[in-house]
Amino acid sequence: MSLEGKIALVTGAGRGIGRAIAEELAKRGADVVLADRMVDNAKGSAQEIAALTGRQTLAVEVDVSSTESAKAMVEQTIERFGKVDILVNNAGVTRDNLIMRMDEAEWDAVIDINLKGVWNCSKAVIRAMMKQRYGRIVNISSVSGLAGQAGQTNYSASKAGVIGFTKALAREVASRQITVNAVAPGFVPTALTVDLPEDLIEAMMKITPLGRMGKPEEIAFAVAFFASDEAAYITGQVLSVDGGMMMM
28 contacts 3 by C-beta, under 8 angstroms: yes
Can you tell me the distance from the alpha carbon of 205 to that of 202, in angstroms, rounded to the nearest whole number? Answer: 5
Note whether 159 and 142 are within 8 A (CB).
yes
d(CA 180, CA 25): 17
Give ∠ CA 82-84-88 in degrees, rounded to 5. 155
Q: Is 99 helix (H, G, I), strand (E, B) or coil?
A: coil
- Residue 143: Cβ within 10 Å count: 22
> Could you give the 3-state DSSP secondary structure of residue 102?
coil
| Distance in angstroms (rounded) separating the CA atoms of residues 246 and 207 | 9
Task: From the candidates 81, 155, 165, 187, give the one annotated as an active-site residue.
Answer: 155
233 tagged catalytic: no
Residue positions annotated with a catalytic role: 155
